[in-house]
Amino acid sequence: MTDMPNWEGFMIPTLEVMNDGQVRHWRDFQPLIADLVQLSDDQRNELLPSGSQFRYQNRIGWAVSFLTNVGAIDRPKRGHYRITDAGRQLLKLFPEGVKERDIDALGEDPNSPIRIYQATVERSAVPGPPTAPGESSMTPTEQVQSGIERIHEEVATDLLTRLQSREPGFFEQAVVDLLLAMGYGGTSGAGSVTQRSNDGGIDGVIDQDVLGLNRVYVQAKRYKDENVVGRPDLQAFVGALSGKADSGVFITTSRFSDGAKFYAENVPTRVILIDGKRLARLMIRYGVGVQVKETYKIVEIDEDFFA
């Protein structure tokens, strides 16, 4: 499978699709571009880190935005685009692909139909950290979300280290807090850590209704990375659930052995396994043990305002 084109790599395919002169809505020509560059099903279904948009659509969107800015395509009405003479010139000059810098150079020629890219901020004057290899090929949205993802990875590592260094009772309460934050306590339910001297293998209980008729039972293992939760731990948890519930959640700061995973998948009692990596991601997502440091807003044109 070939790599997905970066946003620059989608510019010429976009112009090729639009070269018949038809006016198309962006929803109609994006699949045609994906067909032209032969994106696989996996590539078409690949999401941005935020999960808010398909990656290929985001890259095509930035390519279309740039091409519109320099006059290679225009928008005769809301959400609809067509190629221009400038766009056809780009196709003629760069049939194998074009870079942003190539188009910038054309825009400096007063006889060229290509316009200079009109940035609202001097791109050369915008400071920023050194980019990783390949990062410059990302769209601005991808760069922002990639940066956030890297920050979350660092925070996730720190979260697990801190959880592993605290006493078991602290970890068990953190697990209960997480499940409540995820909505498992319902609108009026509650959660609690069981008494350690008599927990019977159950570390936490979530009541999803006021009367406690629907409960979630939790086992929490505060293990170091090298300590793996094995099948015997799962068997003991399932035994503790006997007579209480037909399902439960087993959470650990480390990971599960293959035997434990196989047992959980095949035992009649439904047991959800959450390892350290997933635990940290969930804590970040639901704001448990973390706080928002800064908030950034990404804006786009309000089409309704200009309708």
| Predicted confidence (pLDDT) per residue in 25-34, tens digit | 999 999 999 9
Say what the pLDDT of residue 196 is.
Answer: 55
Nearest one of 11, 31, 48 to 298, comparing CA atoms: 48
- Summarize the confidence of residues 23-45 as an average pLDDT: 95
Say what the pLDDT of residue 268 is.
Answer: 92
DSSP single-letter state for residue 70? T
Take residue 55 and report the two structure tokens written for it: 């990656």
- Listed in sequence order, the residues at least 6 apart from 284 whose beta carbon sits closer than 8 Å to its beta carbon are 152, 155, 156, 159, 290
Residue type, 256: F
Check pLDDT > 80 for residue 209.
no
Q: How far apart are CA 107 and CA 70, in angstroms?
A: 8
Residue type, 85: D
- Summarize the confidence of residues 123-129 as an average pLDDT: 36
Say what the pLDDT of residue 129 is.
Answer: 35
Check pLDDT > 70 for residue 122.
no
Say what the pLDDT of residue 212 is.
Answer: 65
Around Cβ 120, how many Cβ atoms within 10 Å? 5
Q: How confident is the model at residue 86 (pLDDT cuts 50, 70, 90)?
A: very high
Express as a percent the part of the chain with pLDDT over 90.
51
| Alpha carbon of residue 206 to chain centroid | 29
Check pLDDT > 70 for residue 61.
yes
| Predicted confidence (pLDDT) per residue in 152-184, tens digit | 888 898 899 899 999 988 999 999 999 989 988
Q: How confident is the model at residue 1 (pLDDT cuts 50, 70, 90)?
A: low
- Summarize the confidence of residues 177-204 as an average pLDDT: 74
H/E stretch holding 145 reads: helix 140-165
| Predicted confidence (pLDDT) per residue in 272-287, tens digit | 999 999 999 999 999 9
| DSSP line for 75-89 | EEETTEEEE-HHHHH
| Residue 216 φ then ψ, to 5° | -115, 125
DSSP single-letter state for residue 243? T
Check pLDDT > 90 for residue 232.
yes
Say what the pLDDT of residue 187 is.
Answer: 61
Domains and CATH numbers, the chain: 8-127 (1.10.10), 159-285 (3.40.1350.10)
Mean pLDDT of the chain, nearest integer: 85
Q: How far apart are CA 307 and CA 303, in angstroms?
A: 6
Q: How confident is the model at residue 136 (pLDDT cuts 50, 70, 90)?
A: low
Q: How confident is the model at residue 138 (pLDDT cuts 50, 70, 90)?
A: confident
